[in-house]
Amino acid sequence: MPLPLYYFLAITAVNVLMAWALYLPYRVGHLHFITVANMAISGYSAAWLVMSLHVPFGWALLAGFALGGIVGYIVSLFIGDAPTFAVVIVGFTFIYITRTVIENLKAVGGTMGMFGLPNIAGDPVAHRWIILAILYGLLLLVGFLIHRFDHSQLGRAASAVFVDKDLAASLGVDIRRLGMQLQTFSCTIAGGCGVLYGFIYKSFHLDFFTFALVGIAMTIIFVGGYATMWGSLILAPILYGVPLLFPPAIQSWRIVIYGALLVLVLVLKPEGFITRRFVYSLESFLSGTRKKRNTL
Amino acid sequence: MQVFIAQVINGLSLGSIYVLLVTGFNLLLLVAMIIHFSYPQVVVFSMYIVWVVLRATGNNLVLAILAGVVSSVAINLISAPLFQKVMKKRGEVDINSTMVLSMGIGMIITDVLSHTFNQGLPIAFPDALASDAPIVRFGLISVLTGQVWSLAVGIAAVSAFFLLLYRTRPGRAFRAIAEDPNGARLVGIPLLRTGLYSYALSGVLGGIIAILLAMLLGSASPGLGEQVAHKVLAVSIIAGLGNLAGGLVVGLFLGILEAIVQGYISGTWSDAIAFVIMLAVILVKPKGLFGTKL
């Protein structure tokens, strides 16, 4: 497989997973940017386990997921039902703190980062195939779980919380518990993504985990459509792939293009391109039924 | 003890800038009802305009200050219809979507700065604006021109702002909208026009902050806006969103805290410690210490 195609497929999968990690807590109105910090924490920890303690990659990956989940759970104890802006600033603050700690930790290479991570299989080609298999397996699993969640009682409760917290609470929704569950799951995904992200490049550097990454995930979810999981799935390859077709001079303005796209979509089409109504219509069309459904 | 006093002086001047930033941020929050997360990025953009004008005019301070203020007001007024449109589209004021919109604007500003000016490298302001010659020196304690100006202008600007808010007719309109937008509309206060005034006023404040930051720091980089933006939102949340008096107290406190930490702990850790303290407060009291005014 050509290297550019490998990177395109791998980074697209990571972007979709990261956008879904943002999508889930946003179902209850939480913009949970701590996911980027979690990527870094889990990624560096797994790399350290592999490089220094010679732990097999599989176990390091599992540790990355677990660490992400644990950090997410602990933080969610405090901000499970916090207002959106408080969740946002907790996320940003966490990113700053994580970056500073990593910058000062010699065990993980400090500002230089970690290079020369081993292939997880015998040779580079096998390494790439295994990374892709894990990523797309994870994509299918997470996608399935989110789809089930969206169509479950919990998903409907999340929609109610998004629209009106007070109403949802009066209907018996435990807002804090739901927020905690979604934040923990989101951080677990982010933890695993962080490990895989570094092993795609076989290195870890702080430049991987900047606010630009937050911007990319945010653009994917808001331009694609924050009300369904499908927007992220469709937009992630387009957003990452289309700029690659442009000359390098234009490619370097990628973040400006993302920002402009985000602003335009928020102004002109606030729910994003793939809306819930559109998905319901499509589902009805495909299943041949035309029954009216309530949309939130 | 001398180090402590020197750092408190540093902290007061830095804190006065945080207070100004939080005041401009809160003004937009209360009157225009938006979370303008990237307001500090607008300020940093103005710093770059000041730098460009200083270079182009051979350090003409008056023109540079004017350009800084005008650019900040212009960006705020240009972005105003975008915010209004988002709020209109949602059917009601959706403060979270204004925050995401503002983040989008911030992404554009930061990346434009890193592509367009000085090849993305940090800029340094000339001595005409940011002299590091001390006015007073006593042992380890030295007071710089930038510190005096930022403290003096910070106090003057915040006082003028509070006077405007509590002693003038437009100020009453601002407060009325902040208290009850529907009630304000009923008594004949034009919401849109008053909202636009708040964009313009926060723009003027932004221009002043840009000059003061340039004097105090002596340099700027594209990433400065992001870092300050997170601190301003954090200060605002700790104080209680929209709480002007709370913003004043917490802004000054953060400035002093940061300076003291910098005085005793290595530079790379100092920011993190300030952030850890902010994080702890937000985690324990996500709705703020002084109560939100929204």
pLDDT tens column, B113-145: 998 888 888 999 988 777 677 777 777 777 778
A252 in contact with chain B, both atoms CB, cutoff 8 A: yes
* Token pair in block for residue B275: 């952030």
* Beta pairing, strands B141-144 & B219-220: unpaired
* pLDDT tens across the length of chain B (294 residues): 777 888 888 888 888 888 888 888 888 888 877 888 889 999 999 999 999 999 999 888 899 999 999 999 999 999 988 888 887 765 544 667 888 899 999 999 999 999 888 888 899 998 877 767 777 777 777 777 878 888 888 888 888 888 888 888 888 888 888 778 788 888 888 888 888 888 899 999 999 999 988 988 888 999 888 888 888 888 888 888 878 888 888 888 888 888 888 888 766 777 777 788 888 888 888 777 887 665
B108/A29 touch (CB, cutoff 8 Å), yes or no: no
Query: B293 phi and psi, to 5 degrees?
Result: -105, 20
Per residue of chain A (296 residues), what is the pLDDT tens digit? Answer: 788 899 999 999 999 999 999 999 999 988 888 999 999 999 999 999 999 999 999 999 999 999 999 999 999 998 888 888 888 888 888 888 898 889 888 888 888 888 888 888 878 899 999 999 999 999 999 999 999 999 899 999 999 998 888 889 998 899 999 999 999 999 999 999 999 999 999 999 888 888 888 888 888 999 998 888 999 899 888 888 888 888 888 888 888 998 999 999 988 888 888 888 888 888 888 887 655 555 54
Supply the ipTM of this predicted assembly.
0.84
- Number of separate helices (H) and strands (E) present in chain B: 11, 4
Range of the domain at A51: 3-212
- pTM, full prediction: 0.86
State the CB neighbour count (10 A cutoff) for residue A210. 16
**Is residue A165 assigned to a domain?**
yes
d(CA A95, CA A215): 13
Query: Please, are residues B214 and B59 in contact by the beta-carbon 8 Å criterion?
Result: no
- B272 sits in the region (left: phi over 0; alpha: psi -120 to 50; else beta) called alpha
The residue assigned the tokens 């005041």 is: B23
pLDDT at B36: 87
Cβ pair B226, B130 in contact under 8 A: no
Whether chain B has a CB inside 8 Å of the CB on A36: the answer is no
Q: Do B111 and A211 touch (CB under 8 A)?
A: no
pLDDT attached to residue A294: 52
- Domains in chain B with CATH codes: 2-284 (1.10.3470)
Q: Look at B99 and A88 and tell me if their CB atoms are within 8 Å.
A: yes
The amino acid at B133 = A
Number of domains in chain A: 1
Hey, are the CB atoms on A93 and B271 less than 8 Å from each other?
no
Q: Which residues in chain A are closer than 8 Å to B237, comparing Cβ atoms?
A: 85-86, 89
Instruction: Quote the pLDDT of residue B52.
Output: 94
CA atoms within 13 A on the CB side of A89: 34
Domain membership of residue A293 (yes or no) is no
Q: Which of A78, A218, A260 sits opposite B100 (nearest CB)?
A: A218
B chain contacts of residue A253, beta-carbon cutoff 8 Å = 111, 115
Helix (H, G, I), strand (E, B) or coil at B222: coil
Q: Report CA B187 to chain centroid distance, whole Å.
A: 32
What H or E segment, with its residue span, contains residue B244? helix B244-264
- Cβ within 8 Å, pair A270-B97: yes
User: Cβ contact (<8 Å) for B100 and A94?
Assistant: no
Domain membership of residue A274 (yes or no) is: no
B255, B13 Cβ separation under 8 angstroms: yes
CA distances, B189 to each of B95, B144, B242 (Å): 21, 45, 20
A97 shares contact with chain B (CB less than 8 Å): yes
* Backbone phi, psi, residue B123, to 5°: -105, 150
pLDDT for residue B258: 85
Residue A24 lies in a domain: yes
Total residues belonging to chain B: 294
Tell me which chain A residue has its CA closest to the CA of residue B273. Answer: A97
Contact B263, B6 (CB under 8 A): yes
